[in-house]
Structure 1
Amino acid sequence: MSYQELMILLPCHSLEDFPTYHEGDDAQSLLASWTSLWHPELINAAGKVPTWRRVDDPPSEVVSRLIVVPSVSSSQLPTGFAQRVKQEGGVIIRKTLVRSEIIETALAGLASRVEGPVDQELVADFLALGYCYLQIELLTRQMRYSSNLDEAYFQSTVVAAAQALCRGENDVAKEKLTACFSVLAEERDHYYPVDAFIVDLVMTTAVTLGKELADEVAQPAPKNVLLSGQLVDEIAARFPATLEALKTAIERKTLAILGGEYDESRLPLLSLETATAQLIRGRATYEQHLGSRPKVFARWRYGLTPLLPGILQQSGYTAAVHQLFDEGKLPETTQLKIQWEGLDGRAIDSIARTSLDASKPQTFLSLAVKLGESMDADHVATLALAHWPSASSVWMNDLRRIASYTAALGKFITLDDYFASTTKPSQMERLDADRYRSPYLKQAIIRRHSDPISTSVKYWKTYYQTLAATSASTIAALVAGTPPAASNSALLPGAITEEKLAEQMPQAEEQLKLAGDAFAKAIGAQVGAGNSAVVLNPLAFVRRVGVVTDNVKAEPAIERPVYAASSHLGGMQSVVDPPAYGFVYVTPSKSSVAAKKQLLLVEDNTLRNEFFEAVINPTTGALAALYEYSSRGNRLSQQLAFRMPGAKQKTGDVYRDPDETATYSVMAADSITTTSATSTLGEIVVTGRLMDLEGKNLCGYTQTFRCVRGSRVLQVEVELDPQEEPKSDPWNSYFCSRFAWSDPAADVYTTLHETRQLSKASRIESPHYVDFVGVKSSTTILTGGLAFHRRHQDNMLDTILISRGETARRFKFGVGIDLAHPLHEAISLISPPIIRPCAAPKGNLWGWLLHVDCRNVLVTSLSPLVENGKVTGLRARLLETSGSGVKVKLSAFRDLKSGSKIDLQGNVLSDLATEQGKLSIDLGDYEWQEIVARF
């Protein structure tokens, strides 16, 4: 048979209502049916290009017709039509999903085939031409234009190209094909005469680094491969061929590596120091194995935060990919290409819309719709297509072939070239922290990670131990004037990671012990036996702490910075205020005058000091009420509970909020014991059970409440003995500490990278504190590293203690009343001061060695500046934590003569002014800046 006509039956009345909305097999069948008819042998046999008809109005003449019916049209095909086609000598192909099968069946119906081999690359180009023609026609209508295509010329040129190919005249066929693509490009230029771009994003994991990735990057079309430093290390170790393919493609400039960090950890739950250390380690890995580093930052796992732009800009990145590949939620943006402005005001160019899935046929069926929307709305018309190595759809290959002829449907480009060659967005987009939602807790349960809750607690404890150790060592080096002894095992704060906590925790403890000894030695303390103790504060803020010193037998003088003291069990309970980077000696007073008698901090089931009164419920053992003396009414209540989700909703039921159907256990106290009742420290220990509403025992508990004179924080320690395991949904089934506060209109503030952020979310991640701020007062939950909290109603919060997979059973948190600087109290709860027994001092009883005069500025790292083997100053990173820019002055025990701001690559940004031996530094909102100061 020689076909007289090639036809597809479509479920539409015109191309205006072409069904671009289909997905899955229907989309696959529709595209396969359309493009298969553009096979050159079929066009050569028919002498004309394919056409289409409405499926509800099929042709009456079917003799020698090739008719393809995609699956979306089958249900509308008139009954008996298929039989009539076969009886009258036509060929009908129905419901086939695979293009090659349609082509095979269609070619089998030809009476004679082309003699000799046909260039299969050019055959594939014809099929791509058919796809390009369809999308250009659809795009024309999407952009609200009527077709301006010279159909007669286009069709005759297509036929001529097919005939040339079937005669073996490949060069002529190529030339004619080029002309066809050029005509389609002119049609697109008629309504959009500027470039559109296609960004091919190749995602990777540890199982896709071999031949699949090597084959992918060997293709000539420009592409972008997302690789962490850790995956590059693995490629170098296991897949040398892939490594060479990557390096070759980079040299050809057909490949851009996207990445940045060495390991993609739970970045929003970590410090800025850890984030930067990961970037530095990643940069070294890229340069070692690939000879270059990424210019565009990206990560596969969820982990973008609004503090990243400033870090990336200082680290030398030119752009970022602000979109999701993992679960979670990112804020939507007005444009695809944006200037992503961080909270500190620094901005970086970004591509900020979720990529289309290049493995799904619906992506390519609706390509014209997506491209038209981008042409209408975006600053630069762009489509981003993401897929795994060698796992893209066949239509992606068609798109690459089209791009080798014309940019009518977009020009493939690396993101390095994209950001360098396209115009910069005129406006910045500032994306609030509250609009980011992570999937970390849910993922940890699904992937059976151990300790999803306490990992964050351990991380921050180890991090602050390391920060205290490095700061103490730096103080000692500054005083001695010689660098600290080098140690291969020394940890820096940024080196602490969640993945290596098991080995890092004992290292950090030992490092802190040695650094504390060095600090004490630097101030002249005679550590060892003696009747005194020195309290060392290696952090950047003054703090009030309660300390117990067994070797101090007599009370110290109650004068600044010793706030209170009392004897207890043969030792001394003291409340002291060690200054920032300073020390306080607790030493027996030389005066024989008796200290003024003060009231005890415990009475019955109540703890009280100068700032608050905490009432323990004798029946439940919960914190029944927390009062503050200058205002009436209960400020906050707390209880332990096991949350149990309600019955699963049935299909068709009216939706009900999980908070409405969930049930909570009740507390029952078995004993309430006062374990300390002095004028300095009050402590009450409660033991009891959590029971369900029917009286079944769910968990044993011990809850310790501790109150220190002069402190605005009620400390709470909890130990649980669960008898029931939470269910698999960690946000609906857990053991928790429940809080209820009095002001439902209070604003809720949380922390992100140690900065203060307003939150209206119901699922909160905040490892330092959750602060409820009303018009005249504030109440703060100091979380002690517990990062996951669920808010329900307007004034209730669950801090999750145990979810499925959690092995920790002991927890510590605090409740603060009207805290001026909650972050300082939060850090103090996690990181206690260093205490050393010593002989009575011969000099000052207290002092400081470094000082930062703004309380909203945190020193996140401190190290000695070593030049020519001598300590000539210091390096520090300062973070403005509250969103209020300041001019901060840094002073030291020696005058500072000069200083400068530097970026995270060590480049000098500007010099700093000095006045009377102090360094003056301007910090903007949330700015994190490294400085160098010289004596």
Structure 2
Amino acid sequence: MTEAHLLSPYRPPTSYPVSLSADETAAWLNGYFALWHPAVLARIGRVPAAASSYDHDSPGEGNVYVVPEGPHLYQPDDWATRVTDARAVAFRATADSAATRDNLLRALRDAGETSPLLDAPADAIRTFAGLGYGYLIVDGLFDAADHEKLLDADGFWADITAAVGALSAPDAASTVTAHLRTAAEKLRSAREALNSNTIHLLDWAIPDPANLGAAWPAALGRGLPLTVLASGELLERLAAEFPARFAELKAKFLPDLPGAIDLACGAYAEREDALLPPESQWWNLAKARATVRTLFGVETEVFARKRSANHPQIPAWVQHFGYKKAVLVSFDGALAPARTGAVVTWPGPDGKTIDAFAREPQSASDPLTFFNVVYTLHQAMTQDSIPTLALAHKGAAPAVGYEELVALAELASAVGEFSGLGRYLAEHHYGEYLGTSTADDFFADYLDERVTTLHRPDPVSGFPAHLRLRRRLDSAFALAALHRSLTPPTADEDVSLQKLTALEDAIEHAGASAALPESGTDFEGSLVALESEWAKKLADRIQARATAGQPGLMVLNPCGFTRRVALELDNFGGPIPVTDPVKAAQFDGATAKLVVEVPALGFAWVPRTAPAGTQPPKPRMKTADGTSVRNEFFEAELDPATGGLRAFRDARTRLNRLGMQLVFNPGSKTKARSIKVTQSGTALGEIVAEGEILDEHDAVLATFRHRVRAWVGRPALEVLIEIDPGHAPSGYAWHAYYGARFGWRDERAALFRGVNGANVHTSYTRPVSADYLETRLGSERTFVFTGGLPFIQRHGTRMADVILIPEGERGRRFEFLIAADRDYPMQTAAGWVAPAPVVVTDRSPPPVGPSSWLAHVDLPSLLMTSLRPCPPGEGMGRAVAARFIECAGFGGAADLQFARTPDKAAAVDGEGHQTQEIILAGHAIPLEFSAGEAFRVRAEWA
């Protein structure tokens, strides 16, 4: 009997994966598929098989042999002559499939073959190879399971022979396909004898931004389900730059019919969302869904990102914006919770859960994926309740094996059924329960990426700059919303809001690089102008019935909690009394330094002049002397030798809570050149230290300026650090940097950090947080508010560095806030970086008094992240929407009130769709929430 053999020491593995080079693997597969060419199948009497070269030192009569390029095979020196003498055929297989096929055809013709099958259509050749691949896989699965082979081998070969015979007849394509489909069904029946569960094949297309014009995977053109993972921004680029490729994709979305394409779009911009403010993250989610809706006219329901930005709140947040399913796979290698199942139930801290796909796809451009497929499928069949093989296309051409797998799937689901991710998750929603994850379970190394890969000029400073822009955006929207809650909108106000929304899109699109000069836009200047416009409108509305001719200042608070705002004002008219709402005042010539208490979402009116004879306020304490600054809450002392913070003591216990010193990692020392008291007044104490950072040989690495400030009436120490490096750090960003090293006295202290409003315990070496780091010892709680500086690295048990200047960083000015015993640290973190607009006015306080609120929430643990105008419902004249995060870890109830009682209220999702009507309780909107929940409420006026 004439046979066909692939001579190789290797076989597709069954019990363990094999590692060969890509070229060796591709050559093996190309050689095997070549043996399934119809011209070869017509010559032989049984299924092609792999064999050892030692068994074929003497070639069989008329046999066909393929020898893949790869590890050296021992063969007799005259083996080629023996092949000729036996009238056999031998050819070489290479990593190039076309070259391998040419080698085959040349060898057949040289052997005298003249069959018309040599010119068989390419589609037919591909289909036969696909069936051969199915046979290889099913046969290997029986070996892997150590199971008796149940395939009807004779019937299978009869179908193959019939298909080859029919191929020679004219117009016999349908007959050939019918025979091959029958053979494929035999493979399916045999495989189902091993495991009756459906094996799901998930095909992922993950476009490469650098190669957007690449062809789509073959599944798209063949009508098989395909999952496309792309950001909204990338889809917009695809539509603009490669309209033909975009049209191919869009054509698969048919009106009123289920599509073959699942769009997994979890972000408009692939950026460092895990370290950005919640409002920035929510903008990215909403913008992604809106972009898909605009481009394709469908809703994206699967949350997935190529660049990791996962954290514990993701399950609840994505559902808040309309996503039904999620993907918990780190395509960039980021840390994620351990999981074993292909589908997991992923819970958030507020109790909401989402079903997520959790199996990392294998590369479709690596031939090893298809060589090891028997091992992979056997593992899935024996370990998974939902056997799954996922393939990912990331811009490179698919490897040999992919086209054959698609061809097999077109015949029958012999080794698996191609599935879309949405349908797959919808049908299999009972997966492994992941358990509540913590912030320490997630980590994406944005610092190394921004320094080493992206070469950002602002790898660190971009985050605090973006945070301040975001808070100013939220401030402007809040002022507009407060104004709208008091009075109906006008056309010019709507135009102003459109400008503000467009500016928000531009700032968020730039992300943590928005403040760079090369961004081409003065975001700060544009924001200040719009914020000032809305502040002026609101102040005028508040003072509509105030008396003219009384100079003053309207200080506005866009935050949902009371703040004590420190103001430094030039050209002030003179001393004013220190009475509510002014808590402290200091006058140096025409400059006033004031501490003003402003109610939540309210205002405080401060006079600019006082009656003649008003005396400047008398000092209550020495706010600065020697090397110390102090107020009624704390005392901070600088080290005269190093210029760092020697001690931060609370006024009650006088215990040293925290110290700080500037460092150059991997090793340095600091030396103070001067320490001066620059302010010691009735409102402000300030000390400035200047010095140098030295290496072990006392060579100067950098100079620094360290300023600390204590304001009377404010329970937080302001720290400003300016570093001028003479020696630029280079290398791995977590090892080479200038930083601020904070130390605490007791190694038993527990470390906590702020993560999206939650205060969470951390034992991670790099407890990144853009909000704050807390050390806790018993009832003592000490906070370092980083103001958006996110990269923190622990040293031992009593120290942690906040990284300031790694390689490439152009920022030189960094700010911190240090405070003790804050019950609601997220209020401090948010309020510190939020602006407090000041409007100069010539009118008296409004009738309600010098200070009051315009909106109010009666629970301090409920942080209002935004308040902004929104479209009203049917029959309503105007509306505003407020978004909240519960920050204390306790569910409960609260009341939201406005100065003007709304006529209607509703709970809405992230996109503004009403989810539930809320019945007003008198003048208040009752709020109910669970621990850590983020939710949104709309208030409307007729």
TM-score under structure 2 length normalisation: 0.89
CA contact (8 A) 1:461 1:831 kept: yes
Q: Which residue of 1 aligns with 2:493?
A: 485
Alignment of 1:716-731 (within 5 A): 716-731=719-734
Q: What SS class does the counterpart of residue 497 from structure 1 fall into?
A: helix
In structure 2, which of residues 410, 413, 417 is the aligned counterpart of residue 411 of structure 1? 417
Shift, 1:621, TM fit: 0.6
Shift, 1:397, TM fit: 0.4
Alignment of 1:584-603 (within 5 A): 584-587=604-607, 597-603=619-625
Q: Which residue of 2 aligns with 1:521?
A: 540
Q: Which residue of 2 aligns with 1:194?
A: 197
Q: Which residue of 2 aligns with 1:497?
A: 508
Structure 1 residues 801, 15: CA separation in 2 closer, same or farther (over 3 Å shift)?
Answer: closer
Q: Write out per-residue CA displacement over residues 559-609 of structure 1, whole angstroms, 9 at most, x where no aligned residue.
A: 554433344445443333221012233447879899675221212111222
Range 504-513 or range 229-238, more displaced: 229-238
Whole-Å Cα distance in 2 between the matches of residues 20 and 804 of structure 1? Answer: 40
1:673 maps to 2:673? no
Shift, 1:28, TM fit: 2.0
Structure 1 residues 851, 410: CA separation in 2 closer, same or farther (over 3 Å shift)?
Answer: same
1:463 maps to 2:470? yes
1:760 maps to 2:760? no
Q: What SS class does the counterpart of residue 614 from structure 1 fall into?
A: strand
Whole-Å Cα distance in 2 between the matches of residues 132 and 594 of structure 1? Answer: 91
1:577 maps to 2:575? no
Whole-Å Cα distance in 1 between the matches of residues 701 and 923 of structure 2? Answer: 62
Whole-Å Cα distance in 1 between the matches of residues 483 and 465 of structure 2? Answer: 27
CA contact (8 A) 1:375 1:381 kept: yes
Whole-Å Cα distance in 2 between the matches of residues 520 and 16 of structure 1? Answer: 75
1:788 maps to 2:788? no
Structure 1 residues 375, 431: CA separation in 2 closer, same or farther (over 3 Å shift)?
Answer: farther
Range 604-613 or range 570-579, more displaced: 570-579
Q: What SS class does the counterpart of residue 798 from structure 1 fall into?
A: strand
Range 445-454 or range 870-879, more displaced: 870-879
Whole-Å Cα distance in 2 between the matches of residues 133 and 231 of structure 1? Answer: 39
Shift, 1:113, TM fit: 2.9
Structure 1 residues 528, 817: CA separation in 2 closer, same or farther (over 3 Å shift)?
Answer: farther
Structure 1 residues 532, 757: CA separation in 2 closer, same or farther (over 3 Å shift)?
Answer: same
CA contact (8 A) 1:621 1:669 kept: yes
Whole-Å Cα distance in 1 between the matches of residues 113 and 56 of structure 2? Answer: 27
Q: Write out per-residue CA displacement over residues 393-436 of structure 1, whole angstroms, 9 at most, x where no aligned residue.
A: 12110000110112121111222332344454474654333222
Whole-Å Cα distance in 1 between the matches of residues 60 and 780 of structure 2? Answer: 84
CA contact (8 A) 1:212 1:390 kept: no
Structure 1 residues 482, 404: CA separation in 2 closer, same or farther (over 3 Å shift)?
Answer: closer
Q: Which residue of 1 aligns with 2:557?
A: 537
Q: Which residue of 1 aligns with 2:41?
A: 43
Q: Which residue of 1 aligns with 2:855?
A: 850
Identity %: 27
In structure 1, which of residues 436, 443, 447 is the aligned counterpart of residue 454 of structure 2? 447
Q: What SS class does the counterpart of residue 620 from structure 2 fall into?
A: coil
Q: Write out per-residue CA displacement over residues 629-688 of structure 1, whole angstroms, 9 at most, x where no aligned residue.
A: 444653211111222xxxxxxxxxxxxxxxxxxx22211111111011124211001111
CA contact (8 A) 1:897 1:917 kept: no
Q: Write out per-residue CA displacement over residues 609-638 of structure 1, whole angstroms, 9 at most, x where no aligned residue.
A: 223221111121111122234446532111
CA contact (8 A) 2:557 2:600 kept: yes
Q: Which residue of 2 aligns with 1:111?
A: 112
1:825 maps to 2:833? no
Shift, 1:931, TM fit: 0.7
Q: What SS class does the counterpart of residue 195 from structure 1 fall into?
A: coil
Whole-Å Cα distance in 1 between the matches of residues 196 and 182 of structure 2? Answer: 18
Gaps of 5+ in 2: 516-520
Q: Write out per-residue CA displacement over residues 90-125 of structure 1, whole angstroms, 9 at most, x where no aligned residue.
A: 555567434444444344143323136323322222
Q: Which residue of 2 aligns with 1:546?
A: 566
Letter in 2 for 1:162: V
Range 480-489 or range 209-218, more displaced: 209-218
CA contact (8 A) 1:474 1:862 kept: yes
CA contact (8 A) 2:562 2:599 kept: yes
Whole-Å Cα distance in 1 between the matches of residues 867 and 845 of structure 2? Answer: 27
Structure 1 residues 13, 641: CA separation in 2 closer, same or farther (over 3 Å shift)?
Answer: closer
Alignment of 1:328-477 (within 5 A): 328-388=334-394, 391-425=397-431, 427=433, 429-445=435-451, 446-477=453-484
Q: What SS class does the counterpart of residue 33 from structure 1 fall into?
A: helix
Q: Write out per-residue CA displacement over residues 126-156 of structure 1, whole angstroms, 9 at most, x where no aligned residue.
A: 2222221111122233345332223333334
Q: Which residue of 1 aligns with 2:518?
A: none
Letter in 2 for 1:716: V
Q: Which residue of 2 aligns with 1:178?
A: 181
Structure 1 residues 712, 664: CA separation in 2 closer, same or farther (over 3 Å shift)?
Answer: farther
Alignment of 1:148-163 (within 5 A): 148-163=150-165
Structure 1 residues 490, 112: CA separation in 2 closer, same or farther (over 3 Å shift)?
Answer: closer
Range 502-511 or range 743-752, more displaced: 743-752
Q: Provide the aligned length of Structure 1 versus Structure 2.
A: 913
Shift, 1:288, TM fit: 3.0
Q: Write out per-residue CA displacement over residues 776-814 of structure 1, whole angstroms, 9 at most, x where no aligned residue.
A: 211111111212222222222111212222222111111
CA contact (8 A) 1:900 1:910 kept: yes
Whole-Å Cα distance in 1 between the matches of residues 711 and 878 of structure 2? Answer: 41
1:221 maps to 2:224? yes
Whole-Å Cα distance in 2 between the matches of residues 554 and 244 of structure 1? Answer: 69
CA contact (8 A) 1:332 1:353 kept: no
Letter in 2 for 1:393: A
Q: Which residue of 2 aligns with 1:131?
A: 133
Whole-Å Cα distance in 2 between the matches of residues 900 and 932 of structure 1? Answer: 5
Structure 1 residues 842, 427: CA separation in 2 closer, same or farther (over 3 Å shift)?
Answer: closer
Q: Which residue of 2 aligns with 1:121?
A: 123
Q: Which residue of 2 aligns with 1:859?
A: 864
Whole-Å Cα distance in 1 between the matches of residues 692 and 768 of structure 2? Answer: 28
Structure 1 residues 217, 14: CA separation in 2 closer, same or farther (over 3 Å shift)?
Answer: closer
CA contact (8 A) 2:206 2:229 kept: yes
Q: Which residue of 2 aligns with 1:772?
A: 775
1:142 maps to 2:144? yes
Shift, 1:494, TM fit: 5.5
Q: What SS class does the counterpart of residue 307 from structure 2 fall into?
A: coil
CA contact (8 A) 1:470 1:492 kept: no
Whole-Å Cα distance in 2 between the matches of residues 898 and 286 of structure 1? Answer: 32
CA contact (8 A) 2:691 2:705 kept: yes
CA contact (8 A) 1:612 1:629 kept: yes
Gaps of 5+ in 1: 644-662
Range 878-887 or range 551-560, more displaced: 551-560
Whole-Å Cα distance in 1 between the matches of residues 199 and 398 of structure 2? Answer: 21
Range 422-431 or range 369-378, more displaced: 422-431
